[in-house]
Amino acid sequence: MKPRNTVVAGITAAAAAGLVAAGLLAGGGSSSAEPVSLTLDYSCPFPLIGNQQIKTVISTDLPKSIAVGQASGAIKIKAITTVPETATQGLTLVGATTVEGTAKAASTVTAPGLTLPVNVPITVAKTPVPASGAFDVPAEGSAPSLTFSQPGQAKIDVGNLTLALTPRTADGAETGLGTFDSACTLAPGQNTTLHTFTITSGGGSTPPTTPPTTPPTTPPTTPPTTPPTTPPTTPPTTPPTTPPSNGVKVNYAIKGTSVLKSLNGTVALGGSFNAVADLAKGTYTGDLALDDTSGQFKVLGFLPVESSIAFKPVGQASGTVTTGSITFDGKLDVVLTSIKLFGIPIYQGDTCKSPTPTAIKLKSTGTFDVLKGGKVAGTYNLAQTADCGPLGAFIGPFVASSGNTIDIDLTIKK
């Protein structure tokens, strides 16, 4: 499955939503603008790191009133979104040095006789990604003009948004994430009203050029009888935006070989490795599953031996993950399930193994991309086997060896 998240999916939440609101009220017929601000938390799905909470602060200047029939014109808005450290870890892990993209934000304008959903497309400029820690992403844009047909109170509420973001490497190429989409939702329990304003009947603070023959039923300069509903500009007391610690899940297919030094032979390796990584700590744990295999060996350099081998993991494997590299540390029982000498069976069962589990330590060779995979290699030792049947005393000493090698290709499962 192609990765589809952000790693930085909430980056433009404020910019997109704010653009909708900001462009509605500028232009002729409106009173002087006043600064407004709104802080919102979004939950956005990212590739690698799953759902993350993103904090966004919208800041702009909006008028207190606009006249019926007057075009609002457009206005610019600024927004600052704080990207959490976990998202930075995910971006740097795939080699991203910048992020850019587009967004469509949903907002709703509510006025007398009107409930209007507005979606605004915006562009997020290329923003550098730091080596570590949280970072701020600025965004700017403008929204379309609107007119209103009835006087009264109106408000602008900010909604959800969809993102299309592209992390890039230092040379401008796309990372393994490509361009991914993310559907961000507002965290519950927040004040989502960016601004409230008055729609005046007949030109706002500017009197009409010809006085009406009959006085209006409600003088345009009369303040509304309902209490003002302008929300406070201080951030809402929403929970902190610490990302969840459920970890990053990655699944790999295994293909490789192992050379058994003292037995003078090679066996094929296949299977899977499913891991959960804590990017903030740079560690992971996972489950290794190796397929049964077999090999042909030359004991003492000339005795032909065939053996079937099973691998039984002991506990979970663990390791470290950093930009471009990983390490692996695990234990397993290497079980000889059948042995033939000159084609004649001399053992068959499931007890022929070393008394203690075999420790496997591997590390990446070359650049390892967590979204694609890479090569890992290492060495391990085998202790003398026991419980290998009547000829166990003959078999055990030939199995004992040091410096056995493993070379594996890990390929991400789609």
Instruction: Write the DSSP symbol of residue 96.
Output: -
pLDDT at 154: 92
Same domain, 39 and 115: yes
Identify whether residues 260 and 401 lie together within a single domain.
yes
Q: 140-154, 305-319, 332-346, 389-403: lowest mean pLDDT where?
A: 140-154
Position 247 scores a pLDDT of 64
Q: Is 108's pLDDT higher than 80? A: yes
Average per-residue pLDDT for the chain: 79
Choosing from 161, 184, 200, the residue where a domain stops is 200
Task: Verify that 327 and 193 share a domain, yes or no.
Answer: no
Pair (194, 269) in one structural domain: no
Name the residue with tokens 């084609």: 343
Residue 82, pLDDT > 80, answer yes
CB atoms within 10 A of CB 324: 16
Is residue 22 domain-resident? Answer: no
| The token pair that represents 185 in the structure block | 């939702």
For residue 19, what pLDDT band results from cuts at 50, 70 and 90? very low
Residue 224: inside a domain, yes or no?
Answer: no
Domain assignment present for 125: yes
Distance from C-alpha of 204 to C-alpha of 361, rounded to nearest angstrom: 76
Q: What is the mean pLDDT of residues 319-339?
A: 92
Q: Give pLDDT, residue 32.
A: 66
Q: Which amino acid is at 114?
A: L
Higher-scoring residue by pLDDT: 143, 255: 255
Residue 130 has what DSSP assignment? Answer: P
Which tokens sit at 192? 């989502």
Condensed to tens digits (0 to 9), the pLDDT of residues 30-40 reads 456 788 889 99
Top-confidence residue, 369 or 379: 379
Contact criterion met (CB below 8 Å) for 407 and 328: no
DSSP three-state, residue 162: strand
Q: Specify whether 194 is located in the same domain as 267.
A: no
Looking at residue 210, what is its pLDDT?
36
Give me the phi and psi of 272, to 5 degrees please: -150, 160
With a pLDDT cut of 70, the percent of the chain lying above it is: 80
Q: State which of 200, 233, 264 marks the end of a domain.
A: 200
Residue 230: inside a domain: no
> Which residues touch 344 (CB under 8 Å, ≥6 apart)?
none
Q: Is the pLDDT of residue 194 over 60?
A: yes
* Nearest residue to 87 (alpha-carbon basis) of 124, 57, 130, 127: 130
Indicate whether 225 belongs to any domain: no
**pLDDT class for 222, splitting at 50, 70, 90?**
very low
> Based on the domain organization, do 275 and 403 belong to the same domain?
yes
Same domain for 159 and 287, yes or no, is no
In a domain, 253, yes or no: yes
Same domain for 260 and 137: no
The confidence score (pLDDT) of residue 220 equals: 40
**Residue 82 to residue 88: CA distance in whole angstroms:** 11
Q: Provide the b/e sequence for 246-259 (b: ≥16 CB within 10 Å).
A: ebbebebebebebb
β-sheet bridge partners, residue 156: 109, 195
Domain for residue 159, yes or no?
yes
Judge if 38 and 173 occupy the same domain.
yes
Residue 359 predicted with pLDDT over 50: yes
Give the count of alpha carbons within 13 A of 175, CB side only: 33
Specify the DSSP element, H or E, that contains 43: strand 33-46
Q: Are strands 265-278 and 283-290 parallel, antiparallel or unpaired?
A: antiparallel
For 333-378, the three-class secondary structure string (H helix, E strand, C coil) is EEEEEEEEECCEEEEEEEEEECCCCEEEEEEEEEEEECCCEEEEEE
Number of domains in the chain: 2
User: pLDDT (tens digit, 9 = 90+) per residue, 110-152?
Assistant: 999 889 888 777 778 899 999 888 888 877 777 677 788 999 9
Residue 260 is assigned to a structural domain of this protein: yes
Report the CATH number that the domain containing residue 93 is assigned in CATH: 2.60.40
As a whole number of angstroms, the distance between CA 22 and CA 72 comes to 10
If you average pLDDT over residues 386-412, what whole number do you get? Answer: 90
Phi, psi at residue 207, to the nearest 5°? -70, 150
Residues 266 and 405 in one domain: yes
- 165 and 287 housed in the same domain: no
* Locus of tokens 């462009």: 23
Query: Do the Cβ atoms of 81 and 43 come closer than 8 Å?
Result: no
What are the tokens at 151?
């006087």
Are 284 and 276 in contact, with CB atoms under 8 Å apart?
Answer: yes
Look at residue 175 and tell me whether its pLDDT is greater than 70.
Answer: yes
Q: Tell me the average pLDDT across 171-187.
A: 88
* 271 in the same domain as 376: yes
Residue 209 pLDDT grade (very low, low, confident, very high; cuts 50, 70, 90)? very low
The pLDDT value recorded for residue 234 is 39
Q: Mark which of 160, 180, 200 sits at the end of a domain.
A: 200
Its domain, for residue 162, covers 33-200
* 200 pLDDT higher than 60: yes
Per the DSSP assignment, residues forming a β-bridge with 285 are 276, 318
Query: How much is the average pLDDT of 371-394?
Result: 90
Look at residue 410 in the predicted model and tell me its pLDDT: 95
